[in-house]
Amino acid sequence: MDEHYQPQELEQAAQQHWLANKSFAVKQDDSREKFYCLAMFPYPSGKLHMGHVRNYTIADVIARYQRMLGKNVLQPMGWDAFGLPAENAAIQNNVPPAKWTAQNIDYMRTQLQRLGFAYDWDREIATCDPRYYRWEQWFFTRLFEKGLAYRKKAEVNWCESDQTVLANEQVVDGCCWRCDNPVERREIDQWFIRITAYAEELLSDIDKLEHWPEQVRTMQRNWIGRSEGVNLRFGLASALTTGEHSLEVYTTRPDTLMGATYVAVAPQHPVARQAAQD
């Protein structure tokens, strides 16, 4: 046996066989238990990095293990390909966004296939494909019609370079995870979904998830964040520039307020901003 493993000599034949024979394509089979394994779709930035390899290797091990147990396993793959970052990257490279995204997807697909992951490529999707996002639009219009989608101003993490909003997880040491430029807090109009209208139903149904790990169920409860308390108002010594004469607070322990000595506000609060100016 050769001491040095040569993947390019040994793996390609197997991978070509898998593709040609659709070895991981899933068919309806009511006689077998189903198992669905989905790792978060990658953003088609152009090339995979080791973080991608780690995530998709873990998912692939799980999928292959479940297949060895005799289950009918579906492990799909797709591309989180919509949004301003892709458009901005295309502009910087002087390439039409559609062409830029398609080229990146083609290259990264080849990389994933070269890694030998057991995906059902017949089910591949891209979120920039109208056949996909038309259903997101359909969902949104239904939510809007029912009054469950609304707009209001909110403070967000804004990347001036990418001209887009970032989730807290995408801000690393005050900088954008993608371009490494500074991120600022900015108040802009945002769309919101009235998820809290279903908080009680969501919470009660978590207890029905018998086979979910307890730590995952706890994360879901904390994410919903339901609590019982009261809204109170504290009078202000002087009115705000907005005309407000009081500060509204929420507490789960109103019985302890007789011992309160001060009220703290976030640096972004209008009270703090006005105090800083005064």
For the stretch 24-48, pLDDT in tens is 999 999 999 999 999 999 989 889 9
Identify the DSSP state of 5.
-
* Residue with tokens 């502009």, as numbered in its chain: 91
User: Final residue of a domain: which of 128, 160, 183?
Assistant: 128
User: Which pLDDT band holds residue 195 (cuts at 50, 70, 90)?
Assistant: confident
User: Final residue of a domain: which of 79, 102, 128?
Assistant: 128
What is the SS3 assignment for 216? helix
Q: Which amino acid is at 229?
A: G
How many domains, the chain?
Answer: 2
Radius of gyration of the chain (CA): 25
DSSP notation for 79-117: E---SHHHHHHHHHTTS-HHHHHHHHHHHHHHHHHHHT-
Residues 116 and 237 in one domain: no
Nearest C-alpha neighbor of 101 from the set 180, 155, 44, 170: 44
User: Final residue of a domain: which of 98, 128, 158?
Assistant: 128
Range of the domain at 264: 230-277
User: Which pLDDT band holds residue 262 (cuts at 50, 70, 90)?
Assistant: confident
**CATH number, domain with residue 38:** 3.40.50.620
Alpha-carbon gap, residue 144 to 150, rounded angstroms: 7
Percent of the chain with pLDDT over 70: 99
87 or 110, greater pLDDT: 110
pLDDT at position 1: 58
Non-local CB neighbours of 86 within 8 Å, separated by 6+ positions: 43, 44, 97, 100, 101, 128
Q: Is residue 181 part of a domain?
A: no
User: Which pLDDT band holds residue 250 (cuts at 50, 70, 90)?
Assistant: very high
Q: What is the mean pLDDT of residues 37-64?
A: 94
What is the SS3 assignment for 71? coil
64: pLDDT strictly greater than 90 = yes
pLDDT at position 78: 97
Q: Is residue 216 part of a domain?
A: no
Q: Is residue 105 part of a domain?
A: yes
pLDDT at position 23: 92
Alpha-carbon gap, residue 154 to 58, rounded angstroms: 37
Q: Is residue 193 part of a domain?
A: no
Q: Is residue 190 part of a domain?
A: no
Instruction: Give percent helix, percent strand, percent coil of the chain, each to the nearest 5.
Output: 45, 20, 40
Q: Is residue 187 part of a domain?
A: no
Q: What is the mean pLDDT of residues 35-62?
A: 94
Nearest C-alpha neighbor of 106 from the set 171, 47, 19, 169: 47
| Alpha-carbon distances, residue 254 vs 100, 174, 237 (angstroms) | 57, 36, 22
